[in-house]
Every structure is written in C-alpha cells, then in structure tokens.
Amino acid sequence: MVFQDKSRDYNHVPLFSKRAPDNDTLTRNICDTCGFIDYVNPKIVAGVVALWEGKILMCRRDIEPRKGFWTLPAGFMEQRETTQQGAAREAREEACADVEIGPLLAIYNIERISQVQIFYRGYLRSPNIAAGDETVEVALFDWEEIPWAELAFPSVYWALKYFYETREMDSFPPAPQPEDWLETPGFNYTG
C-alpha cells in the first residue's frame, strides 16, 4: 500500500510502501524516496485518581469511544511532557481541575489496542471543577457512590480498585494489568 505523508514538509513528495527495514523483523512504512521509516508505536495514556476530601474526581465522557460513560481524567500524552504533566493536563482539560500529581498507581499494557496506560494518585488543590470540552459532566464521588455500571473502560475499574486497596499505604508497587481482564465486571468483549 502506498500513501502520502502530509504531516510535515519534505523537499520531495514522500511515497511510502510497507516492507521490513534492514535488520528488522517487522513490516513498517518506509519512504521509497528518502528511506525514512515511519515507526508506529503504542500510544501512552496518562491519568489520575484525584481526591478532594476523600471523594474521587470523575468525568462523564462527551466523546467517543464510550460517550456518556464515566472515566477518570486521562488521555493521550503530548510531545515534550512527562507522564505526570500529561495526567495533570488531562485533569485540567477534562475537569477544569488543578491537580497535584502524587505517586505512580498503575501501569496497564493494553496490547489489543496498542496502548500503555499510566495512572497516578493525585489531589485536587481546590474543589473547583467543571466540564471541559470532552466532558459533559464532572463529579466528586464517595467510594459507595461510584457509578460502577457506567464506567467507560476496564482500566478505570482496575485503577479505582487498586487505589482503594492501597489507599492507606504510603508505599506500594504499581499495579499491572490484571491477567483476567476479560472478566472485568461490566465489560463484555467478543473479539
């Protein structure tokens, strides 16, 4: 398959074809003119379980996928930011929240969608929150109030559960992706 990359300026018209580069075992998009290799790597998602007076900040999504479902503030990292900065930025963008990022909570390798999802503990610097552009509603939930049947993604469920397990600990290892992710309550996968 040949396609044209319009993401940058070139001194020539880049034409890509799929083939394995020298000393590589994977097929990649390579420019037939200059040899540029377009490495497509997993996306990194950064998020936070942020608290205000013991309540957890959550956002109801106003975008697909899973529009209308509840999530933690999280999203794709941007260029030249750390995962902590990305998690804080996502909280600001999705919930208009000023969050202090704390310790690493979890790292989930989601192979089926080529993502690495990283969650931190965090604390709101104030209770001032509001829906951002990608969010229809934000709320601070007590543990018993979390809308478990309306969670957007399995990783939200896992991060919340691990947060609860480690809530009294100052030091803990980051949680990995559960081996039985297909058994995550509320999520049915068919393929």
- CATH number for the domain spanning 53: value is 3.90.79.10
* Residue 5, CA atoms < 13 Å, CB-side half-sphere: 20
Give 76's strand partners: 45
Which domain does 162 fall in, by range? 43-172
In this predicted structure, what is the pLDDT of residue 87?
98
Per the domain annotation, does 12 fall within a domain?
no
Let me know: does 42 contact 116? Beta carbons within 8 Å.
yes
Give tens-digit pLDDT for 103-145: 999 999 988 899 999 999 999 999 999 999 999 999 999 999 9
Let me know: does 166 contact 105? Beta carbons within 8 Å.
yes
Confidence tier at 182 by pLDDT (50, 70, 90):
confident
Q: How many other C-beta atoms lie within 10 A of the C-beta of residue 87?
A: 32
Give dist(CA 98, CA 102) in Å, integer. Answer: 13
- What's this model's pTM, rounded to 2 decimal places? 0.85
Per the domain annotation, does 182 fall within a domain?
no
Confidence tier at 1 by pLDDT (50, 70, 90):
very low
Give dist(CA 161, CA 28) in Å, integer. Answer: 38
Secondary structure class of 121 (helix, strand, coil): strand
Per the domain annotation, does 97 fall within a domain?
yes
Tally of structural domains, the chain = 1
Is the pLDDT at 11 greater than 80, yes or no?
A: no
Per the domain annotation, does 55 fall within a domain?
yes
CA 49 and chain centroid, separation: 12
Confidence tier at 9 by pLDDT (50, 70, 90):
low
In this predicted structure, what is the pLDDT of residue 6?
62
Let me know: does 117 contact 73? Beta carbons within 8 Å.
no
Per the domain annotation, does 142 fall within a domain?
yes
Is the pLDDT at 41 greater than 90, yes or no?
A: no
Confidence tier at 7 by pLDDT (50, 70, 90):
low
- Taking residues 27-32, report their average pLDDT: 90
Which residues touch 126 (CB under 8 Å, ≥6 apart)? 52, 98
The three-point CA angle 77-83-86 to 5° equals 50
Per the domain annotation, does 177 fall within a domain?
no
Give tens-digit pLDDT for 56-83: 999 999 999 999 999 999 999 999 999 9
